[in-house]
Amino acid sequence: MKANTKRQTRQLQVIWEAIKDEKSHPSADQVYEKVRRVMPSVSLGTVYRNLQKLVADEKLQVVTVGRTQRFDPTVEKHEHFICEACGRVYDFFVDSKRKIFSSSLPSEAFTVTSHQLALYGKCKSCQG
């Protein structure tokens, strides 16, 4: 039991190491590929479970791109530009004082708790 807990802690550490400085918003598969180089015995399920744990601990945030979850170690509020050609996800920051108004929602009946804005297009390296 104790050895098992130790192994789980080590797995979580390796997975965190693999993603903490990532700017590319990797999917669980991409994190798995990276972790496997360090820890060949790891399974995709383990990687996935640990990523969800890091999300629950607010160390990672999830960015949904199409139908794939991508993981982002930058947890401060920011927005994403998603390249439709290469699938790369870029961060950008919006001034928090700038409010987004929606004229189609009656303001008295809806409470906005957060928002996620994603811009889609072609990135610099796909231009051209």
Q: Rule CB under 5 A: choose which of 12, 44, 62, 123 binds Zn ion.
A: 123
Provide, rounded to whole angstroms, the least separation between the CB of residue 26 and Zn ion: 11
Shortest separation between residue 115's beta carbon and Zn ion, angstroms: 15
| Interactions with Zn ion, residue window 58-97 (CB under 5 A) | 72, 74, 83, 85-86, 91
Helix or strand or coil: residue 27? strand
Q: Which is nearer to Zn ion, 34 or 73 (CB)?
A: 73
Which pair of structure tokens corresponds to residue 3?
């050895």
Q: How far apart are CA 104 and CA 108, in angstroms?
A: 12
User: CB of residue 73 vs Zn ion: minimum separation in angstroms?
Assistant: 8
Position 125, amino acid: S
Can you list the positions of beta strands (E) in the chain? 61-65, 68-72, 79-83, 89-92, 118-121
Binding site for Zn ion (CB under 5 A): 72, 74, 83, 85-86, 91, 123, 126
